[in-house]
Amino acid sequence: MTPRFSFSVTDELFLHLESAEEPFGLQLDLRFSGHLDEQKLEAAAYAAMQVHALASVRMRPAPSGDGHYEWEQVERPDEDPVLALDCADDAAIEAARDSFYSRRLMLENAPPFRLLIARHAAGDWLFLKMSHTATDAAGAYRFLQSVMRQYAGLSDVDPVGMDVIRARNLGHEFGAKSLAERIKRGTGLLAYLVDSVQLPTRITPHFGENSAGVAFVSHTFTAPETEALGQLRQGRGTINDVLIALLHLAVERWNLSRNDKAGRITLMNALNFRPITWRQEGVGNFSLWVNVATREHERRSFEDALETVAEQTRKFKSDESAGLLVDLLEMVQLLPGTLRKSLTKLMPLTGNFVVDTAVLNNLGRVPDLPDPAGKAGRITAIRFSPPTHMPMGVAVGAVTLRGELTVTFRYRRAQFDKHAAEAFRDTFLSLRKELLDKR
């Protein structure tokens, strides 16, 4: 019998957020010094699918109906997961990337990812697009790690005893265990909702196009520059907190320089709630999205912004806060399917039309990837970004590999043209330089 298992609460939320015009695919790119073998990569992708249940599935309506869905595991893909394209120059690479990530994955056909080899004389790029309905960013990176291990001929298995399918139900770990606990949480949940639904500042559009699609600009900090960024923590937070505070200040500077307002700025930020014993394992949705907000008086200095941000993220990382978020999601599941779908666009945690200015997802210092060697050479660059939709026209992804931090700004074409996106990125980079120059 074909294995089938229900969507998790977060799987369904991301499914309802997606549309043909605004797909919800995660971006992970690698550049190589040499050239990839398409057949070898295809074999590696098939082998990696066998390791991770949620990398070899397609979507099917659940027998119960009412808008519920299940994943159906397959032995062979419905569509070839590996594509290849010759690119004459860097402009062709950019065009290939933009087109690839602007197209929606049809989840009715397995698998819930695609790989594209963008061939270039100076070295190939490998693009991985993976549906956020199937996995979060950490899971997408874990799948990429599997593909590269298989390509390099290395062993690749999940930890013994790890039940990914069951663990996706975060209610088992964080949900209220009794009526008394649920009632106690109610006050905190109400306060969170009241604060979350206040209208946020929007990033001022600049030369945006009247069209769908996404594009990308990036910047990589050298290992010494990445270490220097850590100085901005000042004992008050994490690197993630530093990035959030910098992005809040960058939005404020950008808007004010264009004679626009910058009141309540709030970023959608992902927190990984995988079990501590396998924090960087498991393909699936184990992250919860939270809203990290600052107001004008909390951005009078970087120190003020960092302290405000760090206080919020410390609270969100607690089991109590995770429980509040899980309780909210499970309450939504009790509603009819049509109502759940419409409510998704209006509720916190989902990067909705009401509560957020932009998106920031930091993968942190990720486990290393093996260099494939041979004709493919070595890995020379990485890029990552989460999805977003209008009116949140900017999503920032951060990832640190081999000591180097890369930030990628994914932007909707309705928000910026390329020059405006580069200017927004440079606003962020200038703030970082100014702060370090003061030290």
Q: What is the Cα–Cα distance from 45 to 54, expressed in whole angstroms?
A: 13
Q: What is the mean pLDDT of residues 199-203?
A: 88
β-pair partners for 395: 359, 410
- N-to-C CA span, the chain: 64
> Can you tell me the mean pLDDT for 64-74?
82
Q: In the chain, list all ranges with CATH 3.30.559.30.
A: 176-437
Mean pLDDT, all residues of the chain? 86
Which CATH code for domain 4-155?
3.30.559.10
pTM for this one? 0.90
Residue 346 has a pLDDT of 46
Cβ burial of 276 (10 Å; 0-12, 13-18, 19+) is exposed
How far is 26 from 344, CA to CA, in rounded Å? 19
Res. 179: pLDDT tops 60: no
**Range with lowest mean pLDDT among 3-7, 244-248, 251-255:** 3-7
Answer yes or no: are the C-beta atoms of 363 and 139 closer than 8 Å.
no
Residue 153's region, left for phi above 0, alpha for psi from -120 to 50, else beta, is: left
Return the minimum-mean-pLDDT range out of 51-60, 157-166, 284-293.
Answer: 157-166
**pLDDT score of 339 more than 50:** no
Beta bridge partners of 216: 410
Displacement of CA 349 from its chain's centroid (Å): 13
Per-residue pLDDT at 48: 95
| pLDDT confidence band for 18 (50 / 70 / 90) | confident
Please state the CATH superfamily assignment of the domain spanning residues 176-437 in this structure.
Answer: Nonribosomal peptide synthetase, condensation domain (3.30.559.30)
Report the C-alpha gap between 300 and 339 in whole angstroms. 41
Instruction: Say how far apart CA 227 and CA 223 lie, in whole Å.
Output: 6
Residues of the chain with CATH 3.30.559.10: 4-155
Distance CA 389, CA 412 (A): 7
R_g (Cα) of the chain, nearest Å: 21
pLDDT band of residue 335 (cuts 50, 70, 90) is very low
Q: Which residues of 52-76 are buried (b: 16+ CB within 10 A; e: fewer)?
A: bbbbbbbbeeeeeeebebbbbbbee
- Residue 266 phi, psi dihedral angles, 5° rounding: -140, 135
Share of the chain above pLDDT 70, in %: 83
CB under 8 Å to 171, separation ≥6 — which residues?
9, 326, 330
In 178-222, where does DSSP find H-type helix? 179-196
Instruction: Give the pLDDT mean for 201-223.
Output: 91
Q: How much is the pLDDT for 369?
A: 96
7 three-class SS? coil
